[in-house]
């Protein structure tokens, strides 16, 4: 009973402390003995979804008259006279009831644009509260939205001439593409959707050669008439009944008819279909050159190929990459989408830093296209100093310490806009923040040394057989073919030395969704070969004696297989402040070699799958970010997953209360109980992690911003291979609650605009390896360290990182 009472008192104290940290509002510089605007809020009524009501509230909050705005700021102050974090209202405006009617007009106009034409505003009588010499006015805007207008029917009435409307080409095109209309029967009517439909039609015509047509040439005519009122009734009572029924239907289920029409063209050339006549490229334009002036220069050289002309001076480029990224051809109808896609794709080539275009009419029905390209610096060298990184693969530079990259880039190899990238990476991992083992002496400061050299060719197109080339690939954006070769050497002091040589051939491209803002990026490696040689040292041999199953992960072998991953990013259609990130990936090794029955004893055989989801909600000044990750590697043919393909958690970007690679496996404590070793790294076949982080600003000084965050990390890594000597390290669904680790913490973000430094402090709220209280930390016994087996283990971690964790 006393224990429960103590627990209750501790939690009550914690709640009171939180209330003190962020509590009441403070008013400064207010008008004395005069009513001032202290608070304003909106109450919406009507049959709309919860999300729609929330969206409308957020948007309507922008339509308060300035004199009715209560603008609060967050203030941090270390004082016992006020909470540490307070909401402060400075210089509130004097309340004036005449400003309410102006706010109603603003809000009603916005609701009209969203299709709420029958919204009703209740009398907004302010509420006054007197606090000492403050007269606080709270204005509540009560709005009954009524029914949203829906679209009943859609028609197109587009004429080439007033004499032959039946032969209208525009009318035929609009009807043929009516299935893609944004005006669907039964959908809400808004001014924005009408505007978007006019944009769609204008683009449809401009993509079909009608170069001079614009959105302003069309308009929408709205018919709000109820057909019941058109029925003639000689009986006045019947007529009155019809009017009453029409009015009732108008409020209960209002529907409008939409007809898209065109203004009468004063310029007959708007109805002319234009075709491509000639294409000119200027690939050596200087950043200071003006395109119109360059066109007048006579001393430039020319290369002509069919109906294409490349105008140059030094001959730095050949024409092929220009043609390959131009989607308009001779004698084709002009297409605005293809024109801008050409500019966009040429601009994504590393060989040029800027691309502009110009369309010039030629004759009565033709167009000449001009592309002006400013070259980027052909060769560059860079040296980067990095902090800790955590990507889930120890062979690509996940070092808790310092890593330096020396990079050489050539952006125009062989004059074909091919980019080559050569990178030398040196990294060290220091024995800082490691759990100290009293039984081990002479632990070196330098824990890991790594050196790697890589070379990549980036071809600005998809080099694929013609037989599989299709419209799907031709319409993709940012197409690249990558050929990579890399070698690395990792020396984990006293434990192992790992050598690797890898090569791959792969493709990357992206696709933009037409009906949404979603972008899908795909990376596919049909050929991925990795050769590994690992030498075990005495420290690792000692671990093998205590855990024989560990030996299977540290053995020589090779990887021969393929990999594919896809990333999809998009914003919520109804709320652009919500962004989503989805990543799916799969990697396999050994399938092809097994089918061909070659090198079967030297190739690792496995399938590795991953999934990740991120969600970001942006508020006025703050952000809420969440992330979920799951990954699993499944060995085939009775093998084990090699350590360089396994997962680990901990470090600055995942499970921040744990040092790098020091979480797991499951609730096993085997690693902690092994004596005579400081090797505490854990790798698993499966990883599960969830993170949530609330980010908020502290202050801004010029271009420098200091912000903070509160975060919670939850997850662990497990083995998927049965291990009778250590069953707690193997994933089991019934033990998931016990195995999950939970860390909480806060941190500082030093944002210098061009880069961001991050310092996070995490505490182990729940540690599966903790042998009491089911792994939970006790509020009355919070300790920084604890004895575990033969080691002293930290219950916290301080992480330094570059950039946001996710």
Q: Does an H or E element contain 321, and which?
A: helix 320-324
Backbone angles phi, psi at 398, to 5 degrees: -90, 80
pLDDT at 431: 63
Task: State pLDDT tens for residues 558-582.
Answer: 999 999 999 999 998 878 889 999 9
Report d(CA 425, CA 399) in Å as an integer: 11
Query: Cα dihedral sign for 199, 200, 203, 205?
Result: negative
Reference 24, options 82, 78, 91; nearest CA is 82
Give the 3-state secondary structure of residue 199.
helix
Report d(CA 160, CA 163) in Å as an integer: 9
Q: Enter the tokens of residue 489.
A: 């050497």
pLDDT at 513: 80
> pLDDT category, 238, cuts 50, 70, 90?
low
Report d(CA 493, CA 249) in Å as an integer: 81
Report d(CA 143, CA 100) in Å as an integer: 13
pLDDT(374) > 70: yes
Mean pLDDT of the chain: 84
Give the 3-state secondary structure of residue 548.
helix
Give the CATH number of domain 274-375: 3.10.20.310
Report d(CA 529, CA 487) in Å as an integer: 12
- Residue with tokens 């998009």, as numbered in its chain: 570
CATH architecture of 379-802: Beta Barrel (2.40)
Q: Enter the tokens of residue 433.
A: 């923040």
pLDDT at 122: 82
> pLDDT category, 187, cuts 50, 70, 90?
confident
> pLDDT category, 395, cuts 50, 70, 90?
very low
HSE toward the beta carbon, residue 623, CA cutoff 13 A: 17
Q: What share of the chain is helix, strand, coil (3-state, %, to 5)?
A: 25, 40, 35
Q: Enter the tokens of residue 621.
A: 């000044």
pLDDT at 23: 47
Domain locations in the chain as residue ranges: 22-144, 150-269, 274-375, 379-802
Give the pLDDT mean for 253-262. Answer: 86
pLDDT at 389: 39
- How many other C-beta atoms are found inside a 10 Å radius of the C-beta of residue 99? 17
Query: Using CB atoms within 10 A of its CB, is residue 505 exposed (0-12), middle (13-18) or buried (19+)?
Result: middle
- How many other C-beta atoms are found inside a 10 Å radius of the C-beta of residue 709? 20
Task: State pLDDT tens for residues 318-345.
Answer: 999 999 999 999 999 999 999 999 999 9
The CA-CA-CA angle for residues 775, 781, 785, to 5°, reads 70
Q: Enter the tokens of residue 532.
A: 């590994």
User: How large a percentage of the chain has pLDDT more than 90?
Assistant: 45
**Widest CA span of the chain, in angstroms?**
109
Task: State pLDDT tens for residues 170-179.
Answer: 999 999 998 8
DSSP letters for 422-463: EEEEEEEEE--SPPB-TT-----SEEEEEEEEEEEEEESS--
pLDDT(229) > 50: no
Give the pLDDT mean for 505-532. Answer: 91
pLDDT(1) > 50: no
The model's pTM is: 0.78
Report d(CA 801, CA 656) in Å as an integer: 11
Give the pLDDT mean for 591-601. Answer: 76
Lowest average pLDDT, out of 270-274, 690-694, 780-784, goes to 780-784
User: How large a percentage of the chain has pLDDT more than 70?
Assistant: 83
CB 371 within 8 A of CB 282: yes
Give the pLDDT mean for 714-733. Answer: 91
Task: State pLDDT tens for residues 27-81.
Answer: 777 778 788 888 888 889 888 888 788 888 888 988 888 778 777 665 555 455 5
pLDDT at 724: 85
Reference 775, options 750, 727, 801, 742; nearest CA is 742
pLDDT at 305: 92
> pLDDT category, 251, cuts 50, 70, 90?
low
Domains 22-144 and 274-375 in one fold: yes
Report d(CA 454, CA 486) in Å as an integer: 4
> pLDDT category, 434, cuts 50, 70, 90?
very low
Which comes out higher in pLDDT, residue 657 or 396?
Answer: 657
Q: Which residues pair with 606 in a beta bridge?
A: 589, 635
> pLDDT category, 734, cuts 50, 70, 90?
very high
Instruction: Fill in the DSSP letter of residue 192.
Output: H
Report d(CA 220, CA 423) in Å as an integer: 58
Q: Does an H or E element contain 25, and which?
A: strand 22-28
pLDDT at 245: 59
Report d(CA 321, CA 119) in Å as an integer: 57
pLDDT(663) > 70: yes
pLDDT at 529: 95
Report d(CA 697, CA 706) in Å as an integer: 6
Report d(CA 510, CA 453) in Å as an integer: 28
pLDDT at 542: 76
Superfamily for domain range 22-144: membrane protein fhac (3.10.20.310)
């Amino acid at each position: 009973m006393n224990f429960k009472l103590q627990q209750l008192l501790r939690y009550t104290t914690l709640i009171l402390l939180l209330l003190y940290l962020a509590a009441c509002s403070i008013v400064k510089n207010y008008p004395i003995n005069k009513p001032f605007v202290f608070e304003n809020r909106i109450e919406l009524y009507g049959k709309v979804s919860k999300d729609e009501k929330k969206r409308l509230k957020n948007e309507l909050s922008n339509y308060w008259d300035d004199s009715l705005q209560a603008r609060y700021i967050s203030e941090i102050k270390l004082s016992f006279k006020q909470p540490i974090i307070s909401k402060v209202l400075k210089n509130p405006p004097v309340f004036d009831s005449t400003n309410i009617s102006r706010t109603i007009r603003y809000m009603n106009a916005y609701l009209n644009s969203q299709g709420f034409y029958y919204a009703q505003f209740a009398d907004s009588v302010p509420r006054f509260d007197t606090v000492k010499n403050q007269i606080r006015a709270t204005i509540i805007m009560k709005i009954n939205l009524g029914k949203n207008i829906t679209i009943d029917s859609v028609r197109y009435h587009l004429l080439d001439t007033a004499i032959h409307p039946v032969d209208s080409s525009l009318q035929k095109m609009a009807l043929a593409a009516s299935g893609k209309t944004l005006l669907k029967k039964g959908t809400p009517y808004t001014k924005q959707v009408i505007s978007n439909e006019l944009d769609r039609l204008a683009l449809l015509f401009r993509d079909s050669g009608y170069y001079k047509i614009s959105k302003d040439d069309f308009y929408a005519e709205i018919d709000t008439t109820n057909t019941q009122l058109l029925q003639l009734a000689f009986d006045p009572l019947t007529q009155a009944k019809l009017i009453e029924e029409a009015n009732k239907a108008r409020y209960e289920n209002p529907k409008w008819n939409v007809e898209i029409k065109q203004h009468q063209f004063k310029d007959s050339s708007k109805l002319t279909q234009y075709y491509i006549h000639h294409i000119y490229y200027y690939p050596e334009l200087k950043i200071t050159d003006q395109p119109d002036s360059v066109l007048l220069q006579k001393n430039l050289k020319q290369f002509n190929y069919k109906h294409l002309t490349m105008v140059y001076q030094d001959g730095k480029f050949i024409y092929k990459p220009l043609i390959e990224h131009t989607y308009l051809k001779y004698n084709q109808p002009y297409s605005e989408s293809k024109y801008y896609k050409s500019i966009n794709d040429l601009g994504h080539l590393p060989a040029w830093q800027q691309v502009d275009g110009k369309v010039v009419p030629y004759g009565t029905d033709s167009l000449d296209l001009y592309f002006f390209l400013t070259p980027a610096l052909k060769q560059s060298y860079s040296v980067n100093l990095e902090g800790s990184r955590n990507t889930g693969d120890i062979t690509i530079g996940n070092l808790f310490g310092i890593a330096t990259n020396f990079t050489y880039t050539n952006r125009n190899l062989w004059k074909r806009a091919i980019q080559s990238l050569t990178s030398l990476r040196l990294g060290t991992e220091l024995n800082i923040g490691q759990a100290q083992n009293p039984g081990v002496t002479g632990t070196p400061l330098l824990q890991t040394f790594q050196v790697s050299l890589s070379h990549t060719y980036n071809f600005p197109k998809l080099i694929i057989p013609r037989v599989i080339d299709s419209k799907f690939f031709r319409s993709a954006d940012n197409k690249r073919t990558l050929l990579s070769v890399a070698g690395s050497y990792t020396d984990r002091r006293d434990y192992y030395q790992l050598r690797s040589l890898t090569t791959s051939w792969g493709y990357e491209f992206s696709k933009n969704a037409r009906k949404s803002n979603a972008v899908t990026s795909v990376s596919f490696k049909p050929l991925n070969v990795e050769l590994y040689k690992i030498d075990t040292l005495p420290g690792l041999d000692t671990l093998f004696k205590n855990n024989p199953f560990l030996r299977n992960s540290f053995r020589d072998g090779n990887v021969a297989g393929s990999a594919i991953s896809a990333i999809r990013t998009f914003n919520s259609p109804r709320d652009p402040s919500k962004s989503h990130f989805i990543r799916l990936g799969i990697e396999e090794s050994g399938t092809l070699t097994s089918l061909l029955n070659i090198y079967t004893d030297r190739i690792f055989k496995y399938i590795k799958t991953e999934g990740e989801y991120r969600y970001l909600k942006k508020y006025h000044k703050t952000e809420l970010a969440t992330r979920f990750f799951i990954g699993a590697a499944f060995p085939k043919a009775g093998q084990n997953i090699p350590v360089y393909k396994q997962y680990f958690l901990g470090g600055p970007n995942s499970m921040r209360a744990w040092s790098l690679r020091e979480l797991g496996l499951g609730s096993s404590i085997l690693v902690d109980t092994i004596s005579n070793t400081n090797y505490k790294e854990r790798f698993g076949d499966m990883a599960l992690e969830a993170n949530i982080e609330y980010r908020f600003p502290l202050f801004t000084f010029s271009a420098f911003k200091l912000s903070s965050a509160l975060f919670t990390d939850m997850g662990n890594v497990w083995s998927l291979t049965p291990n009778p000597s250590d069953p707690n390290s193997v994933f089991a669904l019934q033990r998931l609650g016990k195995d999950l680790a939970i860390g909480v913490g806060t941190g500082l973000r030093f944002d210098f605009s061009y880069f961001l430094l991050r310092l996070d402090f995490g505490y182990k709220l729940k540690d599966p390896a903790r042998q009491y209280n089911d792994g939970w930390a006790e509020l009355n016994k919070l300790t920084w360290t604890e004895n575990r087996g033969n080691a002293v283990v930290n219950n916290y971690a301080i992480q330094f990182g570059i950039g946001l964790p996710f």
